[in-house]
């Protein structure tokens, strides 16, 4: 589009040298306003394209996290529940995608608030028209609506993915999916609008760059509420405080899941810069990539060392969780830390995981994949760590924001879980848990030919 | 000596093992098997086609015991493996002529 | 390159303020033609770079679909044939890559047609020289030849991947690979040239944005021909209409494959915009991303609900196929639909899959992974759905295009399959099928330590 | 940032037409220096952004190769060692990330050399400050430090990944990780600085575009040293020259690993163009994509055909190694070859693998995954193949560079391995190897429910 | 009572199960085993090294039967499992001293 | 005829098979089992919780032999399977009343 506007100028430019000095000056004078406009437009265009591209790249990277969650969770459940876990992950992502465009997106980024700063607008997402021109673009200094939508949708779906791991192996499919629809269509978007939709938390100065609290702890709170309402898996906790270990069936798959999540996190944090069209923005995105990576390293290494010290032998599942906790920890502020600080912030996340995974078991809170330690506990830590490297944030505000988000996410989720429990029942019977959900609920085995316990 | 072969429900294994250990059984072999019996399997659906899975996962225990212990072992097995639901399993007793411990060459009751 | 041209101007600009008004005007007059030219060139350059970048990103995303097909198919065959399925997938992609550069690409995008609009040129692909400058670029308003080639190659390989799933578990390796070479080197490129190479179908107004017919139905037709010539797997259909179910051996792997395909589809459809260097293009790519995603969601959700209604229990393999069918359905027109329309178009794809998978079994057409329902049937639906949201397309033309493509792909494939059958034999003996291809053909087991049936 | 500078101009431009000719000329003259500056700055900015973006995209693609190596290796070890192999891969990547920023990066790209051309600087990596502006950027004609760092880090980690596959199934975890720290923090960066840090090999004219020698053969040499010090797996070689085959436990996973590596290689080679901000650069990146892909195809096809000819049946693991060898072979020069030449260069890599895998066994060199054939032997071939298509390179210089790199990597690695052997012991006892590392070292099984050998 | 142990080709399972059910067998145990015998295994190639896989996958059936049924069961097994190709399997008959149904404690023929 | 059931350490299989073949054994069945005995299992740690794996992987061999060969087979088994470390396994001998070759219908020693 822009090209057509400028090409005549180029033609003119080529023609000019043939003319004398005077005419030339005149021609230039004629052309000048157009040149000025063209340069400005070209710059605007470049920024818009690069920002949109950042969202598109970030979007597909964060999309792939859905596969990462799915593989991590499917690898960490017992094989008799693996088909169910895969089914839940595909279904939750699909439903999130629909719920978010029907209500979520405009609830989260309201043009007009229903209650200013607290409750956004209710209307389905409308993309910019086909072949939109500069003049008709929604926000020419930002990015295309479609790119923004696709990026934000992936965050919303991630919240639901966090929940599915914690409640695995004993929740019924349909109530779970009902929860997902409400979570991704309503609960999360409302909460997220407070910070990212320029609502009251944003006003207050709460700082959560890519969502340690807004996405990860939020998902963790929803998961915690679910786990409490649902109860532990049948047989998980013995009478005299005995913990019956239920090892994950496919650790290589879980490891793949972790790597995919790590990959996706470059989009998750990098894309949250929301801009890539200037030198400072692209340099910031680069900083974020580097800090994100090193925080994951810190988390993994801390979990590796600590699990070896505590249990004599290294624990792969802790290392996987540790890397993820490192990523969650840096998510609230992946930009301002130095590489060293980012590594330490991530390492603390890894430490948190190693200590809190067994702690949850002490309280008989049965979180199959470690979603609560990784996303909730490390998410809270990440949120509180922001002021350590970002002088614009304060511990007080961070704490208040974190608490408000937590209270809302936990209570809202709890209410929904309790209603679902009352209305449909959410728990698979003990006997069916023993047989395995794949046989009783799905009639389809994940690995029909291997083993048969 | 007798050779006891039993089919039990998989989730009963730990309980049975502990009960047997308590009465002095010092060894056994466990095999994952598919059981066919009165307990019906389940129906699976695959891409629109239903089919019956007639076999149910069970564990098979094999235990060489001295004549003196046979009755106690069978009784313990029957009591602990029992859930009163169809498919609890069977206990078979065969005569065992000889037993040898590979490591030492000991035979008879000493080998068990 | 451009930088060097402009830098002296910048130096001049910095120097200018020191000069008086008159000289300044003069200097500007001197510089002006260069400025104009520079702006135009910069814009041209930006567009070219962004377009090429779109192809490169699209290229690696669609490349990854080869892994997606491989995992989907390897997870859906029985473990005794899994090594063979993986081998076929790696080999077919590799051979497609070679066949496409030797003849395919220039057949498909002919500079000079052998038969105008019907049969392209026959010559190997030649990339632009190393370090090519603006003036020497093939098409400066488009993108680099290499980026275009890599993007198009991946589509060509996808056609062959579609076939490999349908004919799995009983086709011989070498005849299959011979078919792949002919399909990717000749049959597909000729057919695709009719629409995308500006051949007679394009002329006619046939509209297939990213290939519901040109790629997916095309692959489906080739697969159908193969399945018919080859016959069902040994033991699949019992005497009295009984269907012997042969469950896939590794559903988590199949699920991963589906997710990878979904990921790749962002490149498949998004890249098919063929341009990202202007605001309207990047906004269109964004629309396409959003519509592609929601169509997959629609397909998955429809298949989930419908399979549960029909069979009482949800069927993961149907959900996987449903998501893919949603993607295939939107591929013919991912740009013009609204999010709601795209969801519905995808959902119809999911419905088609759930109804046609058992239907094929009724006709004893043994399609191991559901390639024909997903790629052929949903592809036809997608093609016919274009006029619903795109007023430039007509049902009549769509139907004619779809029929011509189908007839050609089916007949050409049939002939090749029949020749291969006559010349080399294409079917593995029943006994070897019972033992499994991994033992008899490869002497290498996929999971040598697990199970042993 | 740039936008703000230009917008007033645009406003002016819009206002201008209203004024008369004379004033217009004057206004233009006033504005002109700014315009010139703006155009130049815009161009600089675009180049900087695109170059950084290339590194970011390349960075996440090459990052994903860590997952590829992990899946390939985990699939090719026996299931009793799979948890350990996954643990090693996650840990090595994490430690490489930390070691490289603490010392590696500045050793490799020294501002000030400690010994000119031979030994770089020792200081941790410092990224550009948050929100850096054009004027303060480290190298405005290149890319952001963070993006460069993240890209280079991934290469460094790949070197360690190569080693882990070769020494699998019998090396102790902690000594292995100690080696990784030294390798990625010190040995590799020093060696790489000689060529890519503008050290003496670069001076000499040694040409290794993306690291056939600098990365792949380097990793291969380190692996070879390790394998020699460590010895073969217990029971691998029988008394009378008998080779006891120890088949990989999960070939579909290994196949996935290969596909992920292939995907990552687009970033590996494409990103090594180091620039994407001009037409020639983006066209070159495109050439590289195309050549990289076709070389992999060549390697896979060659290995498929050759393994079938030699052993009567095709060997999937050889095909996987063949594709990777094709990729390694083209890595030293992915730009200058034509598609045909690239295919052949890759095919030779595939041939090398098929011949050298059994050869190593003859010498009782036990390389579990084929890392030495793929990365070392094909890497050497790739290095020597550069002058075939790149007239700037000479066989003599290539040979000398290759030899110096090899000698240094092998000797330095050997010394470290020997010290580790003396100090900590590096080999798992035979009995524990029989039981499997997952049980003895980790207390955690990869597939606890399947099989039980 | 007798205890019958038989090795059969895996793909024969369904046919055998149906035939046995038809003559009144109400339960059995099925185990996946590796069989060694006259039927040779196959050769596998792994990274250039050939090796013989000496074992062939088989299924092992165990059936406790009343004395009255032994002959019929053995005959039915032999007939339905037969393909006339090497490796069809073996049928072994052992004496069974006692049988107990875990669920009810029934013993003897009632337990089968 | 006798029916020999033996538990051995998995890595001994090839050696045992060769030794038995050498003395004329022409067939056997091999099953992967979990053994419980004096040899303790190992401790696994999963996410901070330690637990004992009480079972050790073993292979179970079953061999139908003629009376003439029993002693030799037991002896060979014991010698080759022996490593002198705890957990080497057990050999059980049961009486075998009848044997049938499915393929041919041969019975008795001819069937083995
Ligand atoms: N005749 C038999 N011979 C061997 N095993 C048997 C026999 N009958 C039953 N079993 C085993 O016992 C298990 C339980 O038997 P079933 O008939 O289902 O229930 P119940 O013992 O409660 O009546 C079966 O799954 C099978 O493994
Ligand atoms: N002596 C034996 N003891 C136990 N099982 C045996 C014996 N001989 C053969 N078998 C089992 O019977 C199967 C078939 O035997 P094989 O000798 O291969 O063929 P066939 O029975 O047709 O002569 C073997 O795979 C093995 O499982
Ligand atoms: N009473 C028994 N009945 C059946 N199998 C047994 C018995 N005792 C031991 N076994 C088998 O023999 C194996 C080795 O026995 P174990 O007591 O561990 O060592 P050892 O034979 O050297 O004393 C066990 O793992 C188990 O499979």
Q: Which of D443, D445, D451 shows the shortest C-beta gap to F32? A: D451
Q: How do residues A368-377 score in pLDDT, each as one tens digit?
A: 999 999 999 9
User: C384-389 contacts: CB < 8 A, separation 24 or more?
Assistant: C385/C329, C385/C332, C385/C333, C385/C345, C385/C348, C386/C207, C386/C208, C386/C209, C386/C332, C386/C333, C388/C337, C388/C341, C388/C345, C389/C333, C389/C336, C389/C337, C389/C338, C389/C341
pLDDT at A265: 98
- What is the least distance, in Å, from the CA of F21 to any CA of chain E? 10
Neighbours of chain A (3+ CB pairs under 8 A): B, C, D, F
Inter-chain contact D137–A338, Cβ cutoff 8 Å?
no
What torsion do the CA atoms of D407, D408, D413, D418 make, to the nearest 10 degrees? 70
- The pLDDT of residue D196 is above 80: yes
Q: Chain B contacts of A445, Cβ < 8 Å?
A: 44
Span C395-424, average pLDDT: 98
pLDDT at D222: 98
Per-residue pLDDT band at D9 (split at 50, 70, 90): very low
Span C257-284, average pLDDT: 98
Residue A279 · residue A95 · CB < 8 Å: no
Q: How do residues A61-74 score in pLDDT, each as one tens digit?
A: 999 999 999 999 99
pLDDT at C23: 55
What average pLDDT does the structure give for chain A? 93
Beta bridge partners of D276: none
pLDDT at A318: 98
Least confident of D13-17, D165-169, F83-87: D13-17
CB atoms within 10 A of CB D112: 9
pLDDT at D36: 76
Q: How do residues D209-233 score in pLDDT, each as one tens digit?
A: 999 999 999 999 999 999 999 999 9
pLDDT at A27: 56
pLDDT at E38: 86
Instruction: pLDDT tens for chain E, 112 residues: list them.
Output: 999 999 999 999 999 999 999 999 999 999 999 999 988 778 888 998 888 888 999 999 999 999 999 999 999 999 999 999 999 999 999 999 999 999 999 999 998 8
Distance F89 CA to ligand 3 centre (A): 5
What ipTM was reported for this prediction? 0.95
User: C64: closest CA among D262, D292, D70, D56?
Assistant: D262
pLDDT at C59: 98
Token code pair at residue A203: 């006003």
Distance (Å, rounded) from C-alpha A440 to C-alpha A429? 10
Report whether residue E41 contacts ligand 2, using a CB cutoff of 6 Å. no
- The pLDDT of residue C35 is above 90: no
- The pLDDT of residue D374 is above 50: yes
Span C142-147, average pLDDT: 98
The fraction of chain F above a pLDDT of 70, given in percent, is 100
pLDDT at D23: 54
Residue carrying structure tokens 């075939």: D388
Q: How do residues C241-254 score in pLDDT, each as one tens digit?
A: 889 999 999 999 99
Rounded to the nearest angstrom, the gap between the alpha carbon of residue A417 and the centroid of all alpha carbons in its chain is: 22
Residue A227 · residue A414 · CB < 8 Å: no
Q: Which atom of ligand 2 is nearest to the CA of F112?
A: 1
CA C200 vs CA C187, C341, C392, C407, D376: distances in Å: 16, 30, 17, 15, 51
Inter-chain contact B32–A439, Cβ cutoff 8 Å?
no
Distance (Å, rounded) from C-alpha D61 to C-alpha D272? 12
Distance (Å, rounded) from C-alpha A223 to C-alpha A240? 26
SS3 D73: helix
pLDDT at A10: 41
Q: How do residues F61-78 score in pLDDT, each as one tens digit?
A: 999 999 999 999 999 999
Q: Which of F11, F45, F57 shows the shortest C-beta gap to D444? A: F45
Ligand 2 mutation pick, F17, F20, F29, F112, max ligand atoms within 8 A of CB: F29
Residue D352 · residue D378 · CB < 8 Å: yes
Residue carrying structure tokens 């003259």: D29
Closest C-alpha residue for ligand 3 atom 9: B27
Residue C240 · residue A51 · CB < 8 Å: no
- The pLDDT of residue C21 is above 90: no
Residue E100 · residue B74 · CB < 8 Å: yes
Chains A–B, number of C-beta pairs less than 8 Å apart: 22
Residue C4 · residue D38 · CB < 8 Å: no
Inter-chain contact D64–A300, Cβ cutoff 8 Å?
no
Token code pair at residue E39: 């039927």
Span D117-124, average pLDDT: 93
A-proximal residues of C, 23-52, CB under 8 Å? 25-26, 28-29, 32-37, 39-44, 46-47, 50
Nearest ligand (C-alpha, residue B84): 1
pLDDT at D21: 47
pLDDT at A6: 44
Inter-chain contact D442–A259, Cβ cutoff 8 Å?
no
Residue C369 · residue C423 · CB < 8 Å: no
pLDDT at A21: 47
- What is the least distance, in Å, from the CA of C277 to any CA of chain E? 48
Q: Chain A contacts of F44, Cβ < 8 Å?
A: 245, 247
Q: How do residues C293-349 score in pLDDT, each as one tens digit?
A: 999 999 999 999 999 999 999 999 999 999 999 999 999 999 999 999 999 999 999
Per-residue pLDDT band at D29 (split at 50, 70, 90): low
Q: Which of F27, F96, F103 shows the shortest C-beta gap to E36? A: F27
Rounded to the nearest angstrom, the gap between the alpha carbon of residue B63 and the centroid of all alpha carbons in its chain is: 8
Residue C406 · residue C394 · CB < 8 Å: no
Residue D332 · residue D339 · CB < 8 Å: no
- The pLDDT of residue B40 is above 90: no
Q: How do residues D287-298 score in pLDDT, each as one tens digit?
A: 999 999 999 999
Q: How do residues D60-69 score in pLDDT, each as one tens digit?
A: 999 999 999 9
Q: Chain D contacts of A296, Cβ < 8 Å?
A: 94, 97
Q: Which of C434, C443, C452 shows the shortest C-beta gap to E42? A: C443
Token code pair at residue A102: 């029907």
- The pLDDT of residue D8 is above 90: no
pLDDT at C445: 94
Inter-chain contact C247–B44, Cβ cutoff 8 Å?
yes
Task: Give the residue on F whose Cα is nearest the Cα of B32.
Answer: F33
Rounded to the nearest angstrom, the gap between the alpha carbon of residue C273 and the centroid of all alpha carbons in its chain is: 14
What average pLDDT does the structure give for chain D? 93
Inter-chain contact D440–F32, Cβ cutoff 8 Å?
no
Chains E–F, number of C-beta pairs less than 8 Å apart: 82
Distance F63 CA to ligand 2 centre (A): 9
Per-residue pLDDT band at A292 (split at 50, 70, 90): very high
Chains A–C, number of C-beta pairs less than 8 Å apart: 272
- The pLDDT of residue B100 is above 60: yes
- Interface mutation vs chain B, best among A432, A439, A447, most B CBs within 10 Å: A439
Least confident of B38-42, B90-94, D97-101, D339-343: B38-42
Q: Maximum Cα–Cα distance for chain C, whole Å?
A: 100
Distance D443 CA to ligand 3 centre (A): 23
Nearest ligand (C-alpha, residue E32): 2
Q: Which residues, including other chains, have CB under 8 Å from residue B67's CB and lie 6 or more apart?
A: B1, B2
Token code pair at residue C202: 């394009």
Span D349-357, average pLDDT: 98
Nearest ligand (C-alpha, residue F69): 2
Residue E30 · residue F21 · CB < 8 Å: no
Distance F102 CA to ligand 2 centre (A): 9
Nearest ligand (C-alpha, residue F3): 2
Distance (Å, rounded) from C-alpha C101 to C-alpha D368? 35
CA-only gyration radius of chain D, Å: 25
CB atoms within 10 A of CB A71: 29
Least confident of A138-147, C6-15, D101-110: C6-15
CA end-to-end span of chain F, whole Å? 9
pLDDT at C25: 52
Q: Which residues, including other chains, have CB under 8 Å from residue A396's CB and lie 6 or more apart?
A: none
* CB-based pocket (< 6 A), ligand 1: B 7, 35-39, 56, 58, 86-90; E 27-29, 62-64, 101, 103, 112
Q: Which of D39, D279, D315 shows the shortest C-beta gap to C6? A: D39
Ramachandran category for residue D61: left, alpha or beta (phi over 0 → left; psi -120 to 50 → alpha): alpha
Inter-chain contact E60–F97, Cβ cutoff 8 Å?
no
pLDDT at A240: 82
- The pLDDT of residue C7 is above 50: no
Give the containing element (helix H, strand E) for E6: strand E2-8
Task: Give the residue on B whose Cα is nearest the Cα of A80.
Answer: B57
A248-263 per-residue burial string, b: 16 or more CB within 10 A, e: under 16: bbbbbbbbbbbbbbbb
Q: How do residues A299-332 score in pLDDT, each as one tens digit?
A: 999 999 999 999 999 999 999 999 999 999 999 9
pLDDT at C19: 42
pLDDT at D396: 98
pLDDT at A130: 97
Q: Is C360 on the interface with A (CB under 8 A)?
A: no
Token code pair at residue E82: 């037969």
pLDDT at D19: 42
Span C44-51, average pLDDT: 97
- The pLDDT of residue D356 is above 90: yes
Q: Which residues, including other chains, have CB under 8 Å from residue A363's CB and lie 6 or more apart?
A: none
- Phi/psi at C73 (5° precision): -70, -40
- The pLDDT of residue B53 is above 90: no
Q: Which atom of ligand 1 is nearest to the CA of B87?
A: 19
- Phi/psi at C51 (5° precision): -65, -45
Least confident of A270-279, C19-28, D235-244: C19-28
- The pLDDT of residue D453 is above 60: no
């Amino acid at each position: 589009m822009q090209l057509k506007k400028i090409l005549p100028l180029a033609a003119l430019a080529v023609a000019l040298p043939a003319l004398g000095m005077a005419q030339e000056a005149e021609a230039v004078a004629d052309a000048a306003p157009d040149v000025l406009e063209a340069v400005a437009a070209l710059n605007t265009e470049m920024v818009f394209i690069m920002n949109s591209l950042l969202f598109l790249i970030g979007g597909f990277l964060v999309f792939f996290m859905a596969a990462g969650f799915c593989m991590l969770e499917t690898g960490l459940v017992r094989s008799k529940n693996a088909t169910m876990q895969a089914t839940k992950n595909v279904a939750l992502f699909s439903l999130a995608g629909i719920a978010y465009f029907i209500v979520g997106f405009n609830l989260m980024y309201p043009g007009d608030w229903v209650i200013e700063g607290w409750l956004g607008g209710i209307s389905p997402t409308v993309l910019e028209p086909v072949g939109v021109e500069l003049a008709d673009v929604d926000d020419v200094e930002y990015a295309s609506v479609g790119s923004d939508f696709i990026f934000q949708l992936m965050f919303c779906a991630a919240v639901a993915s966090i929940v599915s791991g914690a409640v695995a192996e004993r929740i019924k499919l349909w109530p779970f999916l009902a929860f997902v629809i409400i979570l991704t269509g309503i609960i999360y978007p409302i909460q997220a609008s407070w910070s990212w939709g320029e609502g009251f938390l944003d006003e207050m100065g709460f700082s959560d760059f890519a969502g340690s609290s807004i996405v990860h702890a939020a998902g963790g709170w929803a998961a915690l509420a679910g786990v409490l309402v649902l109860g532990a898996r049948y047989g998980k906790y013995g009478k005299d405080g005995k913990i019956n270990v239920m090892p994950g069936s496919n650790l290589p798959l879980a490891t793949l899941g972790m790597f995919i999540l790590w990959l996706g996190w470059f989009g998750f944090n990098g894309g949250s810069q929301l801009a890539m069209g200037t030198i400072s923005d692209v340099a910031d995105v680069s900083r974020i990539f580097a800090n994100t990576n090193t925080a994951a390293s810190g988390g993994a290494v801390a979990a590796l060392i600590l699990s070896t010290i505590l249990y004599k032998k290294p624990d792969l599942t802790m290392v996987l969780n540790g890397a993820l906790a490192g990523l969650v920890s840096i998510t609230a502020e992946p930009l301002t830390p130095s590489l060293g600080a980012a590594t330490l912030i991530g390492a603390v996340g890894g430490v948190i995981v190693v200590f809190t995974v067994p702690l949850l078991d002490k309280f008989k809170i049965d979180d199959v994949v470690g979603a609560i330690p990784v996303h909730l506990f490390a998410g809270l830590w990440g949120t509180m760590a922001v002021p350590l490297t970002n002088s614009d944030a304060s511990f007080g505000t961070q704490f208040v924001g974190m608490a408000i988000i937590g209270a809302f996410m936990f209570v809202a989720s709890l209410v929904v879980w309790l209603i679902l429990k009352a209305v449909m029942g959410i728990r698979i019977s003990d006997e069916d848990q023993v047989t395995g959900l794949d046989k009783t609920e799905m009639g389809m085995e994940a690995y029909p030919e291997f083993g048969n316990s | 000596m007798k050779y006891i072969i039993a089919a039990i429900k998989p989730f009963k294994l730990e309980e049975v093992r502990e009960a047997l250990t308590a009465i002095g059984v010092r060894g056994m072999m466990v095999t994952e098997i598919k059981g066919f019996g009165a307990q019906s399997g389940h129906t699976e659906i695959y891409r629109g086609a239903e089919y019956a899975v007639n076999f149910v996962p069970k564990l098979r225990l094999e235990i060489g015991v001295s004549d003196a212990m046979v009755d106690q072992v069978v009784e313990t097995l029957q009591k602990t493996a029992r859930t009163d639901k169809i498919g609890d399993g069977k206990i078979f007793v065969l005569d065992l002529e000889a037993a040898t411990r590979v490591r030492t060459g000991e035979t008879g009751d000493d080998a068990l």
